[in-house]
Structure 1
């Protein structure tokens, strides 16, 4: 493997006698791992058969014996699982050890796209918690939102801001995850492009950028709240040195984790490192900190949208599982959003500070007295379980996902959920012998399914 000379010198210094084993591991095939969505309640054995090898540090993570074509699996489009690298799943274990997940929490994923760690957070949180997923690069916001929609957790906001824009949210969040952009050394095995782009100068640039992001992240954390910092790289400048800098520059102390020896995770002077020759995963670094001082910002404000009329409310209730748990608002362009009633003040605070963001769970819109349900609602766990549906075979499900025609024989008129293995794929409307497929055009499968 052709590696940058300065990188090999760095790794020889870090690993010593283990360096040859590390280089050998980079020549091996990258493991394929998935994380099952507990919110969608589909067993991993249903997806990929029995006897899958579990990921030691995540009970919902599994290694697959080979990499399937995920695009041609309807369960993937329904959000039954996320294809996520095994080492990065450790974020959930770190948070589980230090955060009281039974409490209502305000959580920010500051560098969220494409959404692997965001959906991981969504799996941890209870239904009284709020998750804000932020991505600074505009082109990456759409895939982030799509992955969150698939996952089904309803209490989320997607935003598109530089972390430094968020100064008015100082002390607001109980947990901030900062998976910072890095030099990508831990991806050298699966991404040759990362090897070609590596340089010592880029490491320095990444380290400086990470400090700027960490400084903004630290401001957002409430007293006694937590900041989780991670990268997919090995070098000390981006990892331990930045972790140490945080404890010196802000009111944070590192939190040590309880890690079984057989997980083969390496404890560093600060934080924890994953090496591919020691465990079945890619290079990854994580450290978690507790904020020791500061003032917590209270949530307050008013949603500046019009409440849905009682007439429309009466029509909406059949679409939502527990409508009393939400308040419903209408956006200027007509979209109806559902906001958890217990989080109105939290949403109002976010809306006031962040202008480039989503406005709650979009459930559809009215055209006259007719309600047109959204795709977001179809995939959300907030949807009513009593709506009519049609169970599709795999072939039919893939045709639906390509927006092709499927049979409607003996099917009742009106709105139907398209389902596969009990999982909602989207809405369709049956009118006589015609079916209108409401899968968003940008979501359709373009791959040949023959």
Structure 2
């Protein structure tokens, strides 16, 4: 869940007595300090966000927030992340809307940091929406190579792609598929993230209504689905590769018991790695639950309880596949037409003063009649399952004149040498509200009429039109502008 949509008042959160009288009491013997646990669930959750490493350093983002009158706090163990007050609306800030940062709960940021990611690896995110972890993976691979981000829901894929576009992620192909039936023809992966669908018990600080509507029996019902997904993850993992299994729930039925059953099913073919999470106070995995004794290696899993780090609840297991097992053949790759775009690309070079070899760093494909998509030069998506999208939609060619999309402008904008318009704070606010506004005499003198790349304090905002009549028309997307307050 993206934090920018989750704003919870302290009055709506449960009291310690309500916690004690609820289904959460089933975990009393698992929690080291029940009173602190119950008290933590009654406090609003801080807003956590990470700086987009392709666009801004965490130090520069901190400066922006301090200038805004905020006191961002570094998150120990997450060097690229910051905590802000619970009532802060990150998604309405100008810097958020143009992809300088992404809001994501602190414990939700941890799985990707444990996957030992390096450029050149092939990675699958099985249940990827809304895309925060996918984007983390993409940037850990230096925005190169191949990540496949899958989700079963088309609506969630749209939200996922929106976040990837805003953040400028170039090395991801999105697919809509039941990941428990991921096709063998799609190949094997060096790293697989399975942030499994779960009962979400650990999100009570963001979703207090769970306390009344949750039925713990749902954990038993979810177990078969989670096992099917983790089973498929093991099958799709290359020998020697890693699988990160995580949930945001407390229930052992969805955590240790799932992992224990898959370990037994693949006896000797996978093993649990010990997890070290510097900066976070974690608990060992459960080895006894409701009369069932689990193998002692289940203690290598890690639990994050809300009271230990002022976070939500989370569970993480890291599995390694035996490197001596036989590997499968490499998958058939998708065929992408890449030779029909020279006229449009040359037009962008000429207009915006980009270097002649600029496009060599990318792979460009016309995926729809609307225009061109841009990917990392070494992005190699599989032929199956069929892609919903590859890279970002960056240049709209079905309009006259053709124009970069906002995600395209955010990407190429820092490199343009012509037709770039620096806005004032007031102009920036009008631009984000999709308004028409007046240029200054200096802006008129520096730019001829037509498309321009709009920026603020050197950070690209998107495309604007400088009309001959002497006004600037915002081209900021309507689906993005509704959440932008323009707050400094």
Regarding TM over 0.5, the answer is yes
Q: 1:116 to 1:197 in 2, by over 3 A?
A: farther
Please point out which of 293, 306, 327 is paired with 2:363: 327
Cα deviations by residue, 1:270-303 (Å, 9 ceiling, x for unpaired): 4111111111211111111112134144244452
Matches within 5 A, 1:134-173: 134-169=150-185, 171-173=187-189
Identify the residue that residue 307 of structure 2 maps to in structure 1: 277
**Following the alignment from structure 1 to structure 2, what is the Cα–Cα distance between the partners of residues 448 and 44?**
18
- In the TM superposition, 1:169-208 aligns within 5 A as 169=185, 171-208=187-224
Q: Secondary structure at the match of 1:427?
A: strand
| Residues in 2 aligned to 1:77 and 1:443: alpha-carbon distance in whole angstroms | 7
Does residue 247 of structure 2 align to residue 231 of structure 1? yes
Aligned twin of 1:243: 259
- Helix, strand or coil at the partner of 1:230: strand
The question of whether the paired residues in 1 share the 8 Å contact of 2:454 and 2:463 is answered with yes
Gaps of 5+ in 2: 1-13, 286-298
Q: What is the CA–CA distance in structure 1 between the aligned matches of 2:387 and 2:378, rounded to whole Å?
A: 23
Tell me how far 1:60 sits from its aligned partner: 0.7
Match of 1:437 among 456, 474, 477: 474
Which of residues 126, 131, 146 is equivalent to 2:142? 126
Is the 1:4–1:195 contact (alpha carbons within 8 Å) kept by the matching residues of 2?
Answer: no
Q: Are 2:303 and 1:303 equivalent residues in the alignment?
A: no
| TM-score, with length taken from structure 2 | 0.82
Distance 2:65 2:342 in 1: 46
1:342 aligns with 2:378: yes
Q: Superposed, which structure 2 residues align to 1:54-69 within 5 Å?
A: 54-65=74-85, 67-69=87-89
**What 5-or-longer segments of structure 1 have no aligned partner?**
none
After superposition, residues 242-261 of structure 1 pair within 5 angstroms as 242-250=258-266, 251-260=269-278
Residue aligned with 1:307, SS: coil
- 3-state SS of the aligned residue for 2:110? helix
Q: Distance in 1 between matches of 2:385 and 2:413?
A: 25
The DSSP-based 3-state class of the residue aligned with 1:376 is helix
Closer, same or farther: CA 417–440 of 1 in aligned 2, 3 Å: same
Preserved contact between residue 364 and residue 372 of structure 2 (Cα < 8 Å): yes
CA contact (8 A) 1:308 1:328 kept: no
Q: Is the 8 A contact 1:154 1:361 kept in 2?
A: yes
Q: C-alpha displacement at 1:385, in angstroms? A: 4.1
Q: What is the match of residue 388 of structure 1?
A: 419
| 1:421 has 2:439 as partner | no
Pair 1:46 & 2:63 matched: yes
TM-score for both structures, normalised by structure 1 = 0.89
Which residue in the other structure is 1:354 paired with? 385
Give the 3 Å change call, closer, same or farther, for CA 91–20 of structure 1 in structure 2. same
Shift of 1:263: 2.5
Tell me whether 1:35 sits opposite 2:50 in the alignment: yes
How far apart in 2 are the matches of 1:171 and 1:368? 38
Deviation of the 1:195 alpha carbon: 1.9
State the partner residue of 1:7: 23
For 1:297 and 1:444, locate their aligned partners in 2 and report how far apart those are by CA, in whole Å. 46
Distance 1:334-1:84 versus aligned 2 partners, 3 A rule: closer
Instruction: Tell me the residue number matched to 1:289.
Output: 319
CA 1:265 to 1:421, structure 2 compared with 1: closer, same or farther past 3 Å? farther
Residues 39, 381 of structure 1: 8 Å contact kept: no
